[in-house]
Amino acid sequence: MATENMFKVPQNINNRHYYLDKVKPFIGQNILKVFTGQRRVGKSYFLFQLIHFLQNDNTVKILYINKEDLAFSFIKNAEDLHQYVIENKSAMQKTYVFIDEIQDIQNFEAALRSLLLYEDLDLYITGSNANLLSGDIAGHLSGRYIEIVIYSLSYIEFLDFHSLTTSAESVEKYMKYGGLPYLKHLPLEDTVVFEYLKNIYNTIVYRDIINRYTVRNIPFLEQLVLFLAGNIGSIFSAKKISDFLKSQRTNMPANQVQIYSHYLISAFLVHKVPRYDMVGKRIFEIGEKYYFENIGIRNGIWGYRLEDRGKIIENVVYNHLLFKGYSVVVGVLNTNEIDFIAQKNGEKQYFQVALTINDIKTIEREFGNLKSIHDNYQKTVITLDAFSGHTYEGIKNISLEEFLLTS
């Protein structure tokens, strides 16, 4: 295989088969493959996994560009990128081009538009911003690109990376430390893992938010993150957050809260989940929930506290639904709230999440909310420990462990 000698593909990579299966139909096609996601979720290593996969064909030519590597510091703008690829592509066969953290190249969109004109190129890019492709470029490339979001490790992947078997203890570790791939190289101990996660958090905040958007009110940004960390799964609006922070002697208008929240979402630090009116069949304009992309980072900056276990479970369930490819909203049915309505391929599922069900009031609340939905889609209550008997009036109760083991 012809490979540029400016890099070496790491060996002994833990394969992430879920993503490989998603991209396989597009390999070799003249379609831009875009991989986005939070920093350190494994986008670079997924590119290496793709390169390993292509190595089965000895005729391929690989070009790899990593903008975090000083060896590629000469590629500063679209013209540099275009020139490098054209000068180094094969004249005889298809060239597979991998560009890591492309957002660090000025006006990279212009280079992509031009490079897609070459049918002997196959392009793969990664970026750490949810708005990597602006509206203009996305419209221009309509039908010529796919975007796949890379998430933190699922529970099944976490077990594989850490050579663990599933158990209550393994679930606890996953809930506490989250699924950043590099943790496989560290002892799973609080002092070590949380120090690493805090450093990753600082990198995301400073490189992907403060530097990218020229944020000036850094103390407010950090307070906003801590506020969301302490209130995951709660319903908020920009005004409500602004009013709370005013009570803490931090004065920030609601529109600025909205802007800063957007920065956090764009960097994949948090996800914003809208509420859906199941009667009026519309998305509420105000009032949404926030969940962290990586629960370990949340625990690293806020703490892993006993009183937060219910919130943490809810966050973990939401993340797993995203990993499984569902679009997710919070359901509002009159005065009842449905934690998650998950949709994929035209099918719905309803989920309620609770720490435990140990009294009649909790049973009536969690199961009752689902009973009030009069359709035939699957309805499930997820708790840390499941009831091992029958369903409750046809509604399933499964453990968090059992739910996380569904692929």
* Bridge partners (DSSP) listed for residue 62: 3, 96
Contacts with 12 (C-beta within 8 Å, 6 or more apart), sequence order: none
C-alpha–C-alpha distance, residues 215 and 203, integer Å: 14
pLDDT at 38 over 70: yes
Distances (CA, A) of 331 to 54, 81, 117, 151, 296: 43, 46, 44, 24, 26
The string of pLDDT tens digits covering residues 142-171 is 778 999 999 999 999 999 999 999 999 999
Beta strand extents in 40-91 (DSSP E only): 61-66
Say what the pLDDT of residue 12 is. 80
193: exposed, middle or buried (Cβ count in 10 Å: 0-12, 13-18, 19+): buried
Say what the pLDDT of residue 4 is. 47
C-alpha–C-alpha distance, residues 13 and 213, integer Å: 34
All domains of the chain in start order, with CATH = 2-149 (3.40.50.300), 155-404 (no CATH)
* Bridge partners (DSSP) listed for residue 106: 77
Q: What is the mean pLDDT of the chain?
A: 91
Ranges 108-122, 271-285, 382-396: which has the least confidence:
382-396
Question: The tokens of 205 are what?
Answer: 């905040």
C-alpha–C-alpha distance, residues 344 and 323, integer Å: 12
Neighbours of 167 (CB within 10 A): 11
Tokens 């980072």 sit at which residue?
297
* DSSP H or E run through 378: strand 378-383
Percentage of the chain exceeding pLDDT 90: 76
Neighbours of 326 (CB within 10 A): 19
Say what the pLDDT of residue 26 is. 96
Contacts with 222 (C-beta within 8 Å, 6 or more apart), sequence order: 205
Tokens 């973990």 sit at which residue?
316
The string of pLDDT tens digits covering residues 313-368 is 999 999 999 999 999 999 999 999 999 999 999 999 999 999 988 777 778 888 88
Question: The tokens of 80 are what?
Answer: 């540099």
The string of pLDDT tens digits covering residues 209-246 is 999 999 999 999 999 999 999 999 999 888 888 887 77
Cβ atoms of 89 and 120 closer than 8 Å:
yes
C-alpha–C-alpha distance, residues 209 and 187, integer Å: 30
Name the band, by pLDDT with cuts 50, 70 and 90, for residue 251: confident
Evaluate the CA torsion angle 374, 359, 175, 165 in order and state its sign.
negative
